[in-house]
Amino acid sequence: MPVEITWWGHATCTVQDSDVRVLTDPLFARRLAHLRRRRGAVPPPAACRADVALVSHLHADHLHVPSLARLAPGTRLLVPRGAPQAVPGLRRLTHLQVAEVAPGDETVIGDVVVRTVPARHDGRRLPLGPHRSPALGYVVEGEARTYFAGDTGLFDEMAKEVGPVDVALLPVGGWGPYLGEGHLDAGRAAEALARLEPVSAVPVHYGTYWPIGMDAVRPHEFHAPGEEFVRLSAERAPGVAVHLLEHGQRVRPKVAR
């Protein structure tokens, strides 16, 4: 079966390839601290089903322990090296097969290889503290090569480190009115697309969560990044097919193979 991508909201996607279900940065909460889900229903129980779940970095909207706890017993979970030390809640998830990974590592699940690649993002759980883990991206290699960027800024070696890919799942926004260093907005994501040159792309990490009480603060930063990414990608990477998904929608993107 061709690769199939489902976007559940924020950075949470299911990548189905070669009969393997890969879940990215599971976040199934209606509310997370000061954030509430403003668009898209909370993913259904079927979204929790995966052969392997990937965590890109330690921030709570990407490593959400209550969401990980909903995964079925025996699910494999790849986390940045050092994550269990930094996030004690991970050590309580004894029903999962947790493995710590770093850039360059490869993990085999059925007929799929998950390759861990670098990202440029603050990998700490908290702004202060001794525990650090690298922020990561992943390339899922089966019938297609699908790049999940996690959270990252642009970096000079991006195309070299990621390698040739068929599909790119790229963050194009955030959860607040301003994006700090180490993030892609719609313009920088379009530039990443031009560097990576995949066949297809899906914008993620926008239009799902927003701070409570800030609905009127720069609302275009919530609503606009997906469409802006489509527009800018047509200018900077016109050969890439960009799929703008609604929450819960799936697509079978074109691939090179």
Q: What is the pLDDT of residues 36-86, one digit of tens each?
A: 999 999 999 999 999 999 999 999 999 999 999 999 999 999 999 999 999
pLDDT number for residue 179 = 86
Side chain identity at 140, as an amino acid letter?
A: V
Task: Give the confidence band of 256 by pLDDT, cuts at 50, 70, 90.
Answer: confident
| Measured distance CA(242)–CA(167) in Å, rounded | 10
pLDDT number for residue 225 = 97
pLDDT number for residue 248 = 97
pLDDT number for residue 126 = 66
Q: What is the DSSP string of 111-178?
A: TEEEEEEE--S---SSSSSS-----EEEEEESSSEEEE--S----TTHHHHH-S-SEEEEE---SSS-
| Measured distance CA(200)–CA(250) in Å, rounded | 14
pLDDT number for residue 157 = 96
* Per-residue b or e along 197-209, where b marks 16 or more CB atoms closer than 10 Å to that residue's CB: ebbbbbbbbbbbb
Distance linking the first and last C-alpha atoms of the chain: 13
Task: Give the confidence band of 233 by pLDDT, cuts at 50, 70, 90.
Answer: very high
Backbone angles phi, psi at 8, to 5 degrees: -95, -10
Pair type for strands 167-171 and 145-148: parallel
pLDDT number for residue 2 = 83
| Measured distance CA(81)–CA(85) in Å, rounded | 9
| Measured distance CA(136)–CA(103) in Å, rounded | 7
Vertex 146: Cα angle to 251 and 24 (nearest 5): 80
Side chain identity at 249, as an amino acid letter?
A: Q
Give the global pTM: 0.96
- Residue whose token pair is 């590592």: 105
| Measured distance CA(110)–CA(18) in Å, rounded | 8
Mean per-residue pLDDT over the chain, rounded: 94
Give residue 151's Cα distance to chain centre: 7
Helices (H), the chain: 65-69, 83-86, 158-162, 186-196, 220-223, 225-236
Question: 231 to each of 154, 168, 175, 221, 225, how far by Cα in Å?
Answer: 19, 16, 21, 15, 10
Task: Give the confidence band of 123 by pLDDT, cuts at 50, 70, 90.
Answer: confident
Question: 219 to each of 32, 62, 192, how far by Cα in Å?
Answer: 19, 22, 24
pLDDT at 132 over 80: no
pLDDT at 168 over 70: yes
Question: 185 to each of 55, 174, 180, 182, how far by Cα in Å?
Answer: 21, 8, 10, 10
The whole-number average pLDDT for the span 218-246 is 96
